[in-house]
Structures are given as structure tokens and as C-alpha cells.
Amino acid sequence: MFLWNTFLSAQIGIKPLSASRQALFSSLAGQKLDALCALLDRLAVHPPQVLLFDGGCEAERTDIARYWACCALCERGSGEGPCLLCPTCQRVAHDEHFDVMAYDGRVGQKEDEDSPGFFRAFTAENARGVRARLLDSPKGRYRIVFFTGIAEARPEAPNALLKLLEEPSQTALFVLLVPQREQILPTLVSRSLCLTLPWPDPFDYEEGEISDLTERLASFMSNEGNFLATIAAKGFVNQPKARDFFVACRKSLLRVLAGRPQTRLDAILSRLEPRGLDIVGQWIGEADSMVQSARSPVSPVRVMSAFAMNLYGLFAGWVWPK
């Protein structure tokens, strides 16, 4: 089978993709996203004007957006998937391509003006700026614009984005990245082709520190131990640990939804009604998004504390958001 694949690849000029994909996009490693990438390869022949990616984690969503931009812009042409080797693919992967722009509702205006990064502030004014820029022809086939942190932006920004999406263009492609599509205006979702990244396997259990952390959260929910003091200890939580913690919480929720609670945290969450589980799912998505944004103004410890307190309040009946 392997030999046959290699033979086929050689015949049609496609190198085994997963290795070069893994080199450029570390979060798209492995076979988990192969089917989605293959779908994008084909979609690039007639790209939809607006693609929305939800699910997965923030790093996966950002990398799949870059991969999609490679599909649309690769010098090899479309249909076979991007080569990931040409100067265009390389520039896209390193956030250096002239025709790719990105906006994040979590980037503050002042921070954006002082030290502009690849992800600029997602404000109504900047969205109008994009409109003006899209009037110029792109250097390549398309101009591609990513939007993330949409739920965290000021309310006028998503409305300006909607106006932008309503204007037909032959050369503009938009990509919306959200933890869950329910978090943004339904009118934005209805304009998009929506693709969901695979969720983590809920029965692939964490070990060591992360399992210990979710156990401590379960204790905190039962008025034992002090989760908040533990995570507040200097140097105890960093961004990767916080990210793994929220992945573990999401898996816990998925096990509950699958009717197969296993851990102590699962047992606690399984006491919630469906609406409560839905709220917890939204909180996990928002927390994940805050923790993974490179320029989030809130520290991972504060995001974890707020999540634990909200969860505690939900069970105590203090917190019942709309």
C-alpha cells in the first residue's frame, strides 16, 4: 500500500503531503485533519467567498486558515492542494504575504498602533479600511482576509464585517475563525460555508499534571482544597498548561454529553441540565480563545480563575447567564 502510494505520488507529482504540512503548520500534524485539508484542496478550485472554521483549538483554526490561503494562492494552481514549498506558500505560512490580511477583536486599538503585528485590531474603522483595500487588484489570484476574536470585538465591528461580506467581489475571500459559531451574529454564519474542525478524542485521557489540575478543579467544586491558590502560585501556570487544561475540560464535557462520565469532574458536570452544559461549553470555548490569543490582555491564570469561579457560581445558582 505504501509503495503504491509513493508510486502514485511520483506519477502525479504530489509529494507526501503530511510531512511538509507538519513542517509548516505544527498544529495540523498527524492524520486528524487530513480529510479537512483534502476538502479544502478541492474547494480551492471554486473557493467560497466566506469560509467559517469553528471547533478545534485556536492554534488549529489559525493554521487551517493559513493552509486555506495556501490552497487559494499556491503558484502550482488549484485543485491538487498547495505545494507548501513555493515562495507564495512559504510567505503565507509565515504571515508575510502581501495579499493576506488578518484582524483580531482581542487586539486593542492602541496596542495595534504602537506595535502592529500580523493580526491587526478588528474595529469598524479597520473593517472599512479593508473595503477600500479590496478595491485594488491583488498581486496573486485573491486577497484573503482572516477575522478572529469576533465575539470579543466591539459590537459595531461585526456589523461592519457583515457589510463587507455583503459586497460581491471576484477576488476577495474571507475566513472567519470562531470557537463556536453560536457566538457570533447569525447573519455572519448564514453568509459562510461552515466547517468544523475535529474535537479532541474525549476518551484519550490526560495524565500527570493536567489530570491533577482537573482533579483539583473537581475538589474546588466540592468545597475541598484551594484550586485558585494552587494556580496562582508563581510560575505554576503557563500558556501551554492552561491550553491543555481547557482541552481536558472540553473532553470532560464531551464524555458527559456522550453519556459516559468517567472522572470526578465528569461526574460533577453530569449533574447539569443540557442548558447548563451548553453554557459550560461556551465558557470553555471563550477561555480557550483567550488563553491562545498571542496578544490577549488577560493572563492564563486569570482566565482559569474566572472559569473556575463561573463554574462554581453556576452550580451554586449565582450565575445563570442569558
**Residues lying near Zn ion in the complex (CB under 5 A):** 74, 82-83, 86, 89
Closer CB to Zn ion, 41 or 58, in the complex: 41
Backbone angles phi, psi at 222, to 5 degrees: -100, 20
Instruction: Please say which residue, 91 or 191, places its beta carbon nearer to Zn ion.
Output: 91
Q: Please report how close the Cβ of residue 245 comes to Zn ion at its closest, in angstroms.
A: 37
Opening angle at CA 194, ends 190 and 197, nearest 5: 150
Closest CA to 265 of 244, 284, 251, 282: 251
Would you say 52 or 89 has its CB closer to Zn ion? 89
CB of 17 to Zn ion, least distance (A): 12
Query: Closest distance between Zn ion and the C-beta of residue 141, in Å?
Result: 12
Cα(76)–Cα(8) distance, integer angstroms: 18
Nearer to Zn ion, 83 or 175 (CB): 83
12: cell is 502525479
Q: Which triple of cell numbers denotes residue 111?
A: 496596542
Q: Report the alpha-carbon distance of residue 243 to residue 241 in Å, rounded.
A: 5
Q: Give dist(CA 202, CA 45) in Å, integer.
A: 35
Nearest-angstrom CA–CA distance, 138 and 257: 46
115 φ, ψ to 5°?
Answer: -145, 80
Give dist(CA 320, CA 322) in Å, integer: 7
Name the strand (E) or helix (H) holding 114.
Answer: helix 109-114
Query: Residue 29 Cβ, how far from Zn ion at the closest point, in Å?
Result: 19
The answer to whether the CB of 243 falls within 8 A of the CB of 27 is no
Kindly state the smallest distance separating residue 103's Cβ from Zn ion, in Å.
24
Asked whether 229 and 235 are in contact (CB, 8 A), the reply is no
Judged by beta carbon, residue 93 or residue 247, the one nearer Zn ion is 93
Residue among 78 and 148 whose Cβ is closer to Zn ion: 78
Taking the complex as a whole, the smallest distance from the CB of residue 191 to Zn ion amounts, in Å, to: 28
CB 240 within 8 A of CB 26: no
CA distance 284 to 52: 19
CB closer to Zn ion, 86 vs 301: 86
Least distance (Å) from Zn ion to the CB of residue 84?
6
